[in-house]
A and B are shown apart, each in its own frame.
Chain A
Amino acid sequence: MYPRVLVFACNWGGWSCIETATNLGLHYPVSVKVVKVSCLSRVHVGLILKAFEFGASGVMLLGCEQGRCHFSADSEYIINEYEKARSILETLGIWKDRLVLAQLPAFDGRQFVMQVMKLIAEIERISTSKHARTVEPRPAQDIKVQLHL
């Protein structure tokens, strides 16, 4: 059982890496799910944390190489959000290396798979150590609520 990893991939540089990986027949676990976004600037702290809330053991932000953003958006925004999210995770006691930012050259499928596997290895390492906790998925409607006012 591989840990669940969510990859936010930008439609351009990021997605190209994933397609390349598929075309090259490179394998990575099925527990890695990909969410396509138009640009990594679309991804904010809330989305990252929600991924962890809903049960991701790791999150990767996969986008265009620095300076090569398809929309010429400064990657300052995503770096900001990434730093913020890591701070929050650290304060929450969740190992911050569960969140990685991979700004890769386009079509670099191999690099992508390497990064993903590195992330998975890191997750597995810390699951067994006593420092970090695995985040459980948010329980669904199993708390009976008595509405007192």
Chain B
Amino acid sequence: MFDLQNVINDTRIRLCLDCGKCTVVCPVARYDPEFNPRRIVQEVLRQNGRGPMDEKIWSCISCNMCMERCNYNVKFTDFIRALRYKALAEGAEIQYSHGGAPQATMHIMAQRDIKQNRLNWLPKDIKLSKQCDTAFFIGCAPYFDILFSDLGVKTVEGSKGALRLLNQAQVPFTLLPNERCCGRDLLLSGDMEGFLALARSNVHEFSRRGIKNVITNCPECYYTLKVDYPKFLENWDINVMHITEIIAPLIESGKLALGSLKPVGAAALAPYKVTYHDPCTLGRYSRIFDQPRCILASIEGLEVVEMADNREKALCCGASPWAHCGAVNKQIQKERLAQAGATGANMLVTACPKCQIHLKCAQKSAENNDVCQIEIQDICTLAAQSLLPQEIS
């Protein structure tokens, strides 16, 4: 049951000092002067939940930059999520992007008796441990690659890279052929029933297979399974880790060594520069900043350069939960890519499949080429590539 008073109490919005720091640092507000996080908070408090819901609540990209700066850690993204849920209950409609295909897929996936074929891409040389209680959670990578095939994204390569790393590190794991989407996109857009349906199917699957630990390479899945699932489900006590949390300590302690990616030709004289983009859910949400950098630093032949806005103040990739995506998102993506280009790096590396999709989408949609066309790659793919004798040109 949606109770506005509970939401107001839990998200602490009464403590809002009305200072406006959130508006200044919000990337959406920068490109859309009508979007004002502070005003949304104040208006809900003044109206006490009555009155028409501000249309603007759909513009938030949940990047948490506001919460990073807020004096009282007002949970603005949770608040927006609750308002969206309320709006839907009162008859608002989500403006789906991509024709609603991702959401329709997720809704179908949520059903209990479905038997997916989501592991067709699995290479033969990946070692699985059948009786293991640790599962690697793939997420929606197989579906994304189909839906966004014209962007040239191959998020499944990231999954493959992660699995190869785990094999190399001799960390045992199994795969779940019938895991579901974690549901984060539905949760963020206010579709609580859809989210819960997916979540419950996932819980069913995990308990059926006796899974106690989960590793994943998708930061959104990581955060959702680790933080949101315990909040909304009764019996979730699974230990969730991100792949970088496992690989980085092994590298630091010397138990795992990555290889090298040596550039050839004219580029051989200069080191291959890569810049790391902190995904919002891995960085600001989960405070994992150093582990991916440690992994990149240990690959020979790479020089890691930092963008202007990095770590806690990393600019979001302009994400949306496959809904209400528009010109503002594009401009944020353009700015982020420009920051990447300004570092002089040859490649932008990220640890999130959705960041890859959103940034590539921005690159592709640039008609007049004023969007930096830097190469975008996944960190696990890169790290796994370094294990094979490889050369990059």
Contact = CB atoms under 8 A, between A and B. Distances in A.
Interface of A: 44-47, 49-50, 52-53, 80, 84, 87-88, 90-94, 133, 135-136, 138-139, 141, 143-149
Given A91-B120, A138-B107, A147-B7, A84 B146 contact: yes
Contact of A147 (B3, B113, B197): B3
Contacts of B196: 143, 145
B365 interface: no
B223 interface: no
B105 A145 contact: no
Interface in B118-135: 118, 120
Contacts of B327: none
A45 B147 contact: yes
Contacts, number: 100
Contacts of A145: 1-2, 85, 192-193, 196
A84 B147 contact: yes
B6 interface: yes
Contact of B149 (A44, A47, A84, A147): A84
Given A133-B115, A148-B232, A149-B7, A52 B192 contact: no
A91 B114 contact: no
Q: Give the top 5 A-B pairs by smallest Cβ distance, nearest first.
A: A46-B99, A49-B104, A46-B101, A46-B100, A44-B99
Nearest to B322: A46
A86 to B, nearest CB: 9
| Binding site secondary structure of chain B | helix
A45 B96 CA distance: 13
Contacts of B98: 44-46
A92 B231 contact: no
Contacts of B11: 149
B99 A45 contact: yes
A147 B85 contact: yes
Given A46-B98, A52-B108, A133-B115, A141 B193 contact: yes
Contact of A143 (B10, B120, B143, B197): B197
B101 A44 contact: yes
Contacts of B271: none
A91 B232 contact: no
A146 B1 contact: yes
B172 interface: no
B75 A149 contact: yes
B143 A88 contact: yes
Contacts of A148: 231-232
